[in-house]
Amino acid sequence: MDPAPLSPSLPDPGKGLPAEAEIVQGTSLGRDAWLRLRKNRLAIICLWVLVGIVALCLIGALLSIAGILPDANENHLDKKLLPPGSGYLLGSDALGRDLMTRIFFGGLVSFSVGLVATLVSTFIGVAYGAVAGYVGGRVDAVMMRIVDILYAMPFVILVIVLMSFFGSNLILLFLAIGAVEWLTMARIVRGQVLSLKKQEFVEAAVSLGFSHWRIIFRHLVPNTMGPVIVYTTLTVPAVMRLEAVLSFLGMGVQPPDSSWGTLIKEGADRMDISLWLLVFPSAIFAVTLFCLNFLGDGLRDALDPKSSKD
């Protein structure tokens, strides 16, 4: 049987109530936020710049692997320290390697360090801080004293120990940075939850008999998203900076591989004779961090559930 001919003659039950149907469907927080973010012109420009930089690094790296662009780690001792334009678009470094492809590959390393370590630290920090703030009392005290102990461990110490154990390893770099950076997030989320849990909507959730987990992760955590997003987007550039500091100490990405941090370090060592080695990596690094920060601000404004819908 063909059911199709029947349907047009029947009245559509939903058609009479368009307004109500719209209200019931509503818009999700994410969609709402995206609509608001689109109105923030600078944040959108920054988003596209970031997408562009990532795409450039990816395509450049692929072209280099395909052999169209020079290899990033191949030495040409007869062509060392060439200024930009002379055969190499952005010049060459002390070992005659093409700076441009090194920036592309370095960018991929820096971005992945930034993103993975930030995700790890955000996840740990939010869960830890929310639970500590919500449970309160003695559990909170013990959890926050553990944070205090870890706070007093300078990051460098942890990295030195980890690296001397396992050799320098990119995965360990992610983990070490992620494992250290969550502390501030935990403190921020805990502070927010402490203040939020006294508000009426939490009381309402408790009196409706919701479980503690549901209250923490469905009611409290979404309300901390503003500060969490701001701090997360502060964390991505902070992690990328940290990676640069490790390069300064000689403990970051190991040669011949490069990250933006190692490239800037190499450039800073030679800034008096070959300035381009400092300028190009620093410029793309600064633009990236700048955009990440502005995008974070835009996201913050967009994600705040209380901000006006205009």
Binding site for other proteins (CB under 8 A): 40, 42, 141, 145-146, 148-149, 151-154, 156-158, 160-161, 164-165, 183-184, 187-188, 191, 194-195, 198-199, 226-227, 230, 234, 237, 241, 244-245, 248-249, 261, 264-265, 268, 271, 278, 282, 285-287, 289-290, 293-294, 297, 300-301, 304, 306-307
Q: If we measure between CA atoms, which residue out of 196, 84, 75, 179 comes closest to residue 133? A: 196
The conformation of residue 95, written as its DSSP 8-state character, comes to T
Cα separation, 91 vs 84, in Å, equals 4
- Select from 246, 236, 224 the least CA-distant residue to 121: 236
Question: Which residue number, 131 or 251, has a Cβ lying nearer to other proteins?
Answer: 251
Minimum distance of other proteins from residue 54's CB (angstroms):
17
Cβ distance to other proteins smaller for residue 40 or 64: 40
| Minimum gap (Å) between residue 82 Cβ and other proteins | 22
Q: Which is nearer to other proteins, 210 or 248 (CB)?
A: 248
Least Å distance, CB 240 to other proteins, is 9
Question: Rounded distance, CA 51 to CA 39, Å?
Answer: 18
> Which C-beta is closer to other proteins: that of 97 or that of 265?
265
Using alpha carbons, select from 31, 61, 178 the residue that is nearest to residue 113.
178
From the list 228, 227, 219, 226, the residue with the least C-alpha distance to 199 is 219
> C-beta of 244: minimal distance to other proteins in Å?
4
Token code pair at residue 7: 């349907």
- Decide whether 64 or 235 has the Cβ nearer to other proteins: 235
Q: Which is nearer to other proteins, 63 or 94 (CB)?
A: 94
In whole angstroms, how close is the CB of 223 to other proteins at the nearest point? 11
Q: What minimum distance in Å lies between the beta carbon of 42 and other proteins?
A: 6
DSSP secondary structure string for all residues of 248-273: HTT-SSPTTS--HHHHHHHHHHTTTT
Cβ–Cβ under 8 Å, residues 64 and 242: no
Q: Where are the alpha helices (DSSP H) in 152-254?
A: 155-166, 170-196, 200-207, 212-214, 225-248
